[in-house]
Amino acid sequence: MAEMDVDALHQHFRSIMASVPDAMVVINETGAITAFSNTSSTLFGYSEDEVLGQNVSLLMAGKDRANHDTYISRYLQTGIRKIIGIGRTVTARRKDGTLFPIDLKIGEAKIGEHYLFTAFMRDLTEQRRNETRMKALQAELVHFSRLSSVGTMASALAHELNQPLTVVTNYLEAARDLLDAPDEEAMKMIQEALNEAAKQSVRAGQIVRKLRDYVSRGEVDKRPTELVPLISDAIELVQTEMGEGVCRISISIAEDIPDVLVDPIQIQQVVINIVRNAIEAMKDTDDCGIKLSASVVGEDMVMISIEDNGPGIDRDVADQLFKPQASTKSTGMGLGLSICKTIVEAHGGTIEAVSAAGGGTRFVFTLERAEGTHDRD
Ligand code: ADP
């Protein structure tokens, strides 16, 4: 090979190492590093000079760090591929000793009698962080989904309410029978029976209230919250649950939309409920689409709008939409929107449903705008 060509090749190789988007490390069959891309330097915190000639186990953690030389020699002896061409997630180690997950792919090249192994690495830290965040969110939402699961809600309500209602019935029936011969003593007993019945119906009312408080988690823990992440996390959860492809969901919210003063989990529950309802309503709609937007209204409120292109609200439930039991679904308890209303009102906002221009439904609710700025983390 002419000298010029070697130079040109060398330069070409250097330009690859400078610009390859994944971190790329080349080693020889003794495990010594022979090339280290710029992105590898950024990822691991070592300069190329620091690592050239060093054993690649420097970048590894745990048992890989101790056994890497054995992995190479075993492969050279047996030819059995455990990772080459397969790829896997492993833990890597930065210069400062911190560990982080990477997606590792290895290719090999045989040049004469010698092997070169090229590793491509992608940092998975951000992906892992997102996964952890989603898991935490999902866990927090579990008690809500548990409540909206029809069976649990129905049996909890039935059980709690049955007792006072039975007592009310017994007292009222007794009072009715006593009216057959309304002498003085009977009147006294009737009065007592009605008193007891009234007490028990107050108790039934308290149970309902307690349940509503529980559903909306009693005290609202409001804090200044960025709207866009709040909404996109909620959408991601719905898509995880219902499948990403079922519906086109677009979010158009101006970047300068002010923060809102909310308990994020509760407001996400509202968004999830409305979006889930919309997707269910559009199960026979060819082009399922949902548009989310937000705007400032007046001095201190922000309005969120969730519009679908479904069939619109059924006339039978339209008047009672936000009341418990308004449902057109065979398994629905009609609690979702009444819970949404409780949550939005506990936040000082209002919620309503209007017809959308294209015949679908548009839910709009308002939230208080947060004063000042939130703590960005
Ligand atoms: P459930 O989902 O248990 O029926 P909800 O209170 O969440 O209870 O919803 C009540 C009813 O409102 C639904 O059964 C449905 O008929 C109607 N509804 C809600 N959202 C929509 C929508 N986007 N399009 C059409 N109908 C809707």
β-strands 248-252, 289-297 pairing = parallel
**Domain co-membership, 195 together with 295:** no
Name the token pair of 163.
């007792």
Cβ–ligand 1 contact at 308 (below 6 Å): yes
Q: Which domain holds residue 145?
A: 128-217
**Domain co-membership, 345 together with 245:** yes
Residue 342 belongs to a domain: yes
Q: Which of 202, 217, 232 is the last residue of a domain?
A: 217
pLDDT of residue 296: 95
| Triad 34, 35, 39: Cα angle to 5° | 150
Q: Which of 61, 89, 123 is the last residue of a domain?
A: 123
- Alpha helix segments (H runs only) across 179-263: 184-215, 227-242
**Domain co-membership, 236 together with 167:** no
pLDDT of residue 139: 64
| Triad 93, 136, 216: Cα angle to 5° | 165
Q: Which of 80, 97, 123 is the last residue of a domain?
A: 123
State the DSSP H helix or E strand holding residue 106, giving kind and residue range, or none if neither.
Answer: strand 99-111
**Domain co-membership, 273 together with 170:** no
| Dihedral sign for Cα atoms in the order 6, 111, 56, 118 | positive
CA 312 to centroid of ligand 1, rounded, Å? 10
**Domain co-membership, 250 together with 345:** yes
Name the token pair of 296.
């400032």
**Domain co-membership, 37 together with 141:** no
CA 327 to centroid of ligand 1, rounded, Å? 6
pLDDT along the chain (377 residues), means of 10: 68 81 91 93 95 95 88 88 84 93 90 89 87 71 54 60 83 92 90 90 77 58 90 84 83 92 85 91 91 94 96 89 75 71 88 91 96 50
Answer for the pair 335, 148: CB distance below 8 angstroms, yes or no: yes
CA within 13 Å, CB half, 343: 28
Q: Which of 347, 187, 158, 322 is nearest to 263 (CA)?
A: 347
Residue 204 belongs to a domain: yes
Distance of CA 40 to the CA centre of its chain: 32
For the CA of 336, the closest atom of ligand 1 is: 7
pLDDT of residue 111: 84
Looking at residue 258, what DSSP letter applies? P
pLDDT of residue 41: 95
**Domain co-membership, 37 together with 154:** no
**Domain co-membership, 26 together with 95:** yes
Cβ–ligand 1 contact at 355 (below 6 Å): no
CA 321 to centroid of ligand 1, rounded, Å? 7
**Domain co-membership, 77 together with 114:** yes
Residue 72 belongs to a domain: yes
For 2-40, the DSSP string reads -HHHHHHHHHHHHHHHHH-SSEEEEEETTSBEEEE-HHH
Residue 376 belongs to a domain: no
**Domain co-membership, 304 together with 361:** yes
Q: Whose CA is nearest to atom 8 of ligand 1?
A: 334
CATH of the domain at 303: 3.30.565.10
- The total domain count for the chain is 3
**Domain co-membership, 238 together with 118:** no
Residue 373 belongs to a domain: no
Residue 377 belongs to a domain: no
CATH of the domain at 73: 3.30.450.20
User: What's phi and psi for 308, nearest 5 deg?
Assistant: -120, 170
Rounded CA-CA distance 24/18 in Å is 10
Looking at residue 246, what DSSP letter applies? G
Residue 375 belongs to a domain: no
**Domain co-membership, 305 together with 261:** yes
